Amino acid sequence: MKPYHDLLQHVLDNGIEKEDRTGTGTISTFGYQMRFDLQEGFPLVTTKSVNFQKVLGELLWFISGSTNANECADKYGFKTWKLWAKEDGELGPVYGKQWRSWSTYKRKNNHLRHFTIDQLQNVIDQIKTNPDSRRLIVSAWNVSQLDEMALPPCHLLFQFYVANGRLSCQLYQRSADLFLGVPYNIASYAALIHMIAQVTELEVGEFIHTIGDAHIYKNHIKQVKEQLSREPRPLPQLSLNPEVKNIDDFGFNDFSLKGYLSYPAIKADVSV
């Protein structure tokens, strides 16, 4: 996880103080890229404990197409989204909606008709049939619905690339909470690459993480320094149930993480 630790150190050394929506304040840098070769191991941070079941829970919730935080908490075991939800748990048309049922209209026979687009399944189908396409993209940044979302998407666009029988993915993230959020983002998209590689009969390649505003909240600086004082341990290995051939058929029991030896967790508050 050297790329992640290098980013933390870079922001500590070069970050600019900025105010932010939450009122907490950050030190921030603009424009940064990390690369992780998934053949070398699964990129789950070892210098503090990261709950992989929660990473999976949020990812499976996205893939399900749900936008309800109560379902995310009760069915998938990830509660953080409740911080932004309405009383009934609704978050508006966030990630799951945009990934699996992007809403649009087309005119047919002089009538404007509503229909939805399953971006994730479309990309999987394209990887199978046209792997050299430069349009293997899923976007969560639906401009027409941003004002309906409890929180506009931070990790907003990802693109796949197939070469030498391996599947790689580059993510663009407009805003990144480096201490709390980014370890989850890295592990989530790495897991997604493993899943899509399996259902398209490819090996895993690289995860490339490109960030716009990379920031450390001011109330996380002490924790970041504690984390950087710890020596990273070898990366774990992730294996999937080879019987799963459809992206919608994955469940918690289809993932096996081996060799994850981490330091203890480091607590920090979420800025809402």
Please write the tens of the pLDDT for every residue from 196-208. Answer: 999 999 999 999 9
Binned at pLDDT 50, 70 and 90, residue 271 comes out as confident
Q: Has residue 29 got a pLDDT over 90?
A: yes
b/e per residue 229-259 (b: at least 16 CB within 10 A): eeeeeebbebebeeebeebeebeeebbebee
pLDDT in tens, 124-181: 999 999 999 999 999 999 999 999 999 999 999 999 999 999 999 999 999 999 999 9
Q: Which of 8, 56, 154, 224 is catalytic?
A: 154
pLDDT tier at 257, thresholds 50, 70, 90: very high
In this prediction, residues 23-44 reach a mean pLDDT of 97
pTM for this structure? 0.96
Residue 72 is a catalytic residue: no
pLDDT of 48: 98
In whole angstroms, how far apart are CA 265 and each of 118, 120, 188, 212?
37, 33, 18, 27
Name the band, by pLDDT with cuts 50, 70 and 90, for residue 272: confident
pLDDT tens for 189-248 read 999 999 999 999 999 999 999 999 999 999 999 999 999 999 999 999 999 999 999 999
pLDDT at 3 over 90: yes
How does DSSP assign the chain, residue by residue? -HHHHHHHHHHHHHPEEE--TTSS-EEEEEEEEEEEEGGG------SS---HHHHHHHHHHHHHT--BHHHHHHHH---GGGGT--TT-B--S-HHHHHHHEEEEEEETTEEEEEEE-HHHHHHHHHHH-TT-S--EEE---GGGGGGSSS--SEEEEEEEEETTEEEEEEEEEEEETTTTHHHHHHHHHHHHHHHHHHTT-EEEEEEEEEEEEEEEGGGHHHHHHHHTSPPPPP-EEEE-TT--SGGG--GGGEEEE----PPP---PPP-
pLDDT on residue 64: 98
Instruction: Write down the pLDDT at residue 69.
Output: 97
- The yes-or-no verdict on residue 105 having pLDDT over 90 is no
Cβ contact 227:216 at 8 Å: no
